[in-house]
Amino acid sequence: MLFASRSFCCLGIRTYQLQTDLLCRSIRLSASATMAFRHKNARRIEGLDSNIWVEFTKVAADSSIVNLGQGLPDISPPSYVKEELAKAAAVDRLNQYTRGFGHPSLVKALSQVYERVCGRKIDPLTDILVTVGAYGSLFSTMQALIEEGDEVIIIEPFYDCYEPMVKMVGAKPVFIPLRYKGNGNSASSADWVLDAAELENKFNSKTKAIIVNTPHNPIGKVFTREELQVIADLCIKHDTLCISDEVYEWMVYKGKKHIKIATMPGMWERTITIGSAGKTYSVTGWKLGWCIGPQNLIKHLQVVHQNTLYTCPTPLQEALAQALWVDYKRMDDPDCYFYSLPRELESKRDRMALLLQEAGLNPIVPDGGYFMIVDVSTLDVDLSGIDEKQPYDYKFVKWMIRSKKLSAIPLSAFCGPETKKQFEKYIRFCFIKKDSTLDAAEAILKNWNKQAA
C-alpha cells in the first residue's frame, strides 16, 4: 500500500488527496486485520452465554425424533383463538403501535379475569404490564427490582432462566432444593417438599426476593396453601419480594387447587405475579405474558419495559384480549378453556405415566403443569460411549435421542451447582402432545422394554 502511494508522489499536488485516501484506507484495512476489537462483552453477560435450549431445540427440527423435550404443545390452539388473530390483523390500525404498557383492551380483560380470581380490585393501567412472554415479565422484574448486593432465593429444580437473569442483574442466586419425602412407591409431585428450617436459613438481610413457581416446572408440584404460608411468613418477616411465576396456573389436575400467594395476607404489596398467554392458550409462539402487582412495584417494571422494547405486538394483544373475554364470560362453565385444557391434559398425563411405568420406570406424577420427571438410572443403560464430562442425564438423553429417537430434557439443567448430582438421574418429559405423538412415544417405550428383557 505504501509502495503504491509513493509512486503517486511524482504526479504532483492533485494526487495528494488520492494519496491520503489510499493511506487512510491502508491504515484502516491493516487496522481491521491486526487490531482485534479490544472491547469484549459487558461484564453483566459474562458466563451467561450457554443455554440448554440452544442445544436441545435443534432436536425439534428433526422430524424423525419423537420430541417430548422442549415445552411446546403440538396440539392445536383453540380455533376461536386463531380466528381472533386473523380478525385483528385485518384491522388496519391494529397493525400499528399500541399503548406501551399493554394494549388497552388486553389489560382491561386481564384485570377482569384476575379480579375474579384474586377477589380484589386490579387497575388495568397501573397494576398490569404486558410483556414479551412470561420470560419478559421475569426479566423486567429482575431489572427493575434486583441489583448487585442482593440475594434471590431460587427453589431447585428451577426453570433455567432464573439463574442467569439473577446473575445478569449482578445479584447472587441462593438455592434451596425440593427434597423427596415419599415412601418409594408410586411417586407424586406432592412428595417433593421444602424443608421449612432449611428455607428459613436461606433468608437474611440481603435477601431481596424469592422466586416461587407454582405449578412447578419441571416437577409439576402444586404448592399447597400451607406450603405457601411458610414462604409468605418468611417474606413478611424479612421484608422480601415474592416473584410468583404462575404460567401453568390453569393446568392443575383433579383434587388440586392453584393458590395465588399474592392473595395471602401481607403478600399483595410485595408480590409480582406472572402469567402467560402461551401456556394459557397453547400459543407459545405468541410470546405474550403479563405481570400483575401493586402500582408501586409495577411502575418500576413499566420503566424497564419502556427502555427495553416499549410495546408488544398489537394484533396479538387484541386477539388475546378477545379470547380472554370469551373465557371470562364462561368462567362458571366447565367448557371454559381454563378448565377444559387441564381435563384434556390430565388424560395425557395419566397415559404418559402408564407408558413410563410399563417401560419399567417410576415417574413422578405431577399435580399440575405439563411435564413429568422420571429417574432413568434404574434402567442401567450403558452410556460409556457418550462424552464423559457431562452429567448422567445429559448423556442419557443424548443416547436416547440417538438410539431410541425419543427426546426429553435432562433435569440437571434446572439445578444449581450443588444439586446437580442429586438430580442428574432424572429426565423431563413434556406431555402436551397430540395423540399420534404419544402413540409414537408408546411404540418406542414398549419396544425398549422388550429389548431390555
Partner 1 sequence: IRDIFSLTFFPLSLQAKMSRPVQARRLEGTDKNIWVEFVKLAVTYSKVNLGQGFPDFPPPDFLKESLEKALSGGNHMLHQYTRAFGHPPLVKILAQFFGKLLGQDLDPMTNVMVTVGAYQALFCCFQAFVDEGDEVIIIEPFFDCYEPMVKMAGGTPVFVPLRPKPPKGSKLMSSADWQLDPAELASKFSERTKAIVLNSPNNPLGKVFSRGELELIADLCVKHDVLCISDEVYEWLVYDGKEHIRIASLPGMWDRTVMVGSAGKTFSATGWKVGWTVGPNRLLQHIRTVHQNSVYHCATVAQEAVAQGFQREFKLYGKPDSYFVQLPKMLQQKRDRLVQSLDAVGMKPIIPEGTYFLVADISQFKSDVPDVPDSDEPYDSRFAKWMVKNKGLAAIPLSAFYSEAHKNNHDHFIRFCFAKEEATLKAADDILQKWKREKSSP
Q: How far is the CB of 366 from partner 1 (least distance, A)?
A: 21
Residue 10 to residue 5: CA distance in whole angstroms: 10
Q: Does 417 participate in binding partner 1 (rule CB under 8 A)?
A: no
Site size toward partner 1, by CB under 8 A: 91
Name the one residue in this structure whose C-alpha cell is 388497552.
104
Closer to partner 1 by CB, 222 or 316: give it.
316
The answer to whether residues 424 and 412 touch, using CB atoms and an 8 Å cutoff, is yes
Is residue 18 a contact residue for partner 1 (CB under 8 A)?
Answer: no
CA distance 384 to 179: 29
If the CB atoms of residues 239 and 358 are measured against partner 1, the closer one turns out to be 239
Question: Of 28, 116, 343, 402, which lies in the binding site for partner 1, with binding defined by CB under 8 A?
Answer: 28
Helix axes 104-118, 314-329, angle to 10 degrees: 30
For residue 243, state whether it binds partner 1 (rule: CB under 8 A). no
Long-range contacts, stretch 340-345, CB < 8 angstroms, 24+ apart:
341/250, 341/251, 341/282, 342/250, 342/251, 342/252, 342/253, 344/75, 345/251, 345/253, 345/370, 345/431, 345/432
Q: In this complex, which beta carbon is closest to partner 1, that of residue 15 or of residue 70?
A: 70
- Is 62 a binder of partner 1 (CB under 8 A)? no
Binders of partner 1 among residues 31 to 50 (CB under 8 A) are: 31-32, 35, 37-39, 41-45, 48-49
Q: Which residue among 102, 133, 218, 220 contacts partner 1 (CB under 8 A)?
A: 133
Closer by beta carbon to partner 1, 16 or else 358: 16
**E-assigned strand segments in 20-118:** 66-67
Helix axis angle, 435-452 to 337-358, nearest 10°: 20
Sites for partner 1 among residues 219-238 (CB under 8 A): 233, 236-237
3-state SS, residue 156 = strand
C-alpha dihedral sign at 446, 157, 218, 285: negative
Please say whether the dihedral angle defined by the alpha carbons of residues 157, 279, 434 and 329, taken in this order, is positive or negative: positive
What is the smallest separation between the CB atom of 421 and partner 1, expressed in angstroms? 25
Is 65 an interacting residue with respect to partner 1 (CB under 8 A)? no
Q: What is the largest CA-CA distance in the chain?
A: 95
Residue number, 164 or 330, with CB nearest to partner 1: 164
C-beta closer to partner 1: residue 145 or 359: 145
Residues 311-370 that bind partner 1 (CB under 8 A): 311-316
Cβ burial 54-77 (10 Å sphere, 16+ → b, else e): eebeebeeeeebbbbbbbbbeeeb
Nearer to partner 1, 11 or 91 (CB): 91
Nearer to partner 1, 168 or 359 (CB): 168
Cβ atoms < 10 Å from Cβ of 404: 17
Q: Which of residues 138-197 bind partner 1 (CB under 8 A)?
A: 139, 143-147, 161, 164-165, 168-169
Minimum distance from residue 226 beta carbon to partner 1 (Å):
14
Taking the complex as a whole, the smallest distance from the CB of residue 72 to partner 1 amounts, in Å, to 5
Fill in the per-residue mask, 276 to 315: x = in contact with partner 1 (CB under 8 A), - = not in contact.
--x---xxxxxxx-----x-xx--x--xx-xxxxxxxxxx
Find the part of the chain contacting partner 1 (CB under 8 A) among 128-136, 190-198, 328-336, 410-418: 128-136
175: cell is 438455592
Residue with cell 406450603: 227
Supply 437's cell numbers: 405423538
Does position 74 interact with partner 1 (CB under 8 A)? The reply is yes
213 near partner 1, rule: CB under 8 A: no
Nearer to partner 1, 34 or 183 (CB): 34
Strand partners, 180: 192
What DSSP character marks residue 184? S
